[in-house]
Amino acid sequence: MTASAPAIHVLTGPTAVGKTQTALRWAEQHEAEIVSCDSVCVYRGMDVGSAKPTPEEQRRVRHHGLDLVDPRERYSVSQYVDMARAAIADAHARGKRVLVTGGSGFYLAAFFGPVTDELEIPAAIAEEVRSLHRQGLAAMLLRLRELEGSRPPDWLDLRNPIRVAKALERRLASGRSLDSLREEFMGRRGPFADHPVTCEVLERPDAELKGRIAARTEAMLREGIIEESERLLSMRLDPELTSSRAVGYRATMDWLEGGKRVALAGLSERINLDTWALVRKQRKWFRRLGLVKESA
């Protein structure tokens, strides 16, 4: 780290744990600005379902990283890093501290290590992988196993089509094994390696968190996630986009496309289940990044 690099405080935790209100209080007490670490809040018009800070909350504390792109656009972790760097430098220049808050794993990882490499993916390879992706996860895994000569490494989430597609792109573009690519990648410096970074992880008992998730789902259904999802459907989003797969929105879009044959209570239950699955995934990220003990 260098003397000129401003300190960054990270406040994270699973969905619905209470990050927004805790972050607002911390920022007000420490004269800080907030940099969002949420992969859905970057999209304009996706407000209710992402639990985006309200206009009043944004007036209380200046926020960065909200409403950056249209839901039809891709937004990469590289773009996020560029935004966060600029926001942190801007806040520091005005004498403000910086609080990063949110629970999106890849964005969060940027503050603790490398998240991108410099490998360029040729258009032909990108199209080949997209074609396999359209055929399904099994087709991508078959191609990956052909290239690796054995079972893909244990660290790759073989149930996640997006992760498998990214791995396949890099394997084809480099001609190198995934383990070799990962070893080189882990030796890179993270984008915020020069900054002193502190972190706090908020948690609640499972029963309490599930109650908060259910309450938030009901509030979202009252406050407009259905209307927001109708607008997303009208955009005919690419199914690979984060905006198309976002928790809450995906279930609501499926419900709308199914002609609302399932009662609203059924939609609520689906959103709750999907949100709890996200919580489990977020907790894995916290352990992977060393933010909580492995036994937590």
Find out whether 52 and 20 touch, Cβ atoms under 8 Å: no
* pLDDT at residue 296, as a whole number: 43
Cα–Cα nearest to 23, from 14, 34, 15: 34
Whether 100 has a pLDDT exceeding 60, the answer reads yes
CA 142 to CA 56: how far, in whole Å?
Answer: 51
- pLDDT digit string, tens, across residues 21-42: 999 999 999 999 999 999 999 9
pTM (predicted TM-score): 0.86
Q: Of how many residues is the chain composed?
A: 296
| Reported confidence tier of residue 118, pLDDT bands at 50, 70, 90 | confident
Strand, helix or coil for residue 12: strand
- pLDDT digit string, tens, across residues 3-12: 578 999 999 9
CATH of the domain spanning 206-276, picked from 1.10.287.890, 1.10.10.10, 1.10.238.10, 3.40.190.10: 1.10.287.890
CA 215 to CA 26: how far, in whole Å?
Answer: 24
* pLDDT at residue 64, as a whole number: 98
- pLDDT digit string, tens, across residues 64-96: 999 999 999 999 999 999 999 999 999 999 999
As assigned by CATH, the class of the 8-116+190-201 domain is alpha beta
Whether 1 has a pLDDT exceeding 80, the answer reads no
CA 159 to CA 137: how far, in whole Å?
Answer: 8
What tokens were used for 204?
Answer: 């609640």
The 8-12 sheet, strands edge to edge? 63-64, 32-36, 97-101, 8-12, 197-201
| Reported confidence tier of residue 158, pLDDT bands at 50, 70, 90 | confident
* pLDDT at residue 2, as a whole number: 47
**Ranges of each domain in the chain:** 8-116+190-201, 123-186, 206-276
Cα–Cα nearest to 166, from 156, 176, 175, 154: 156
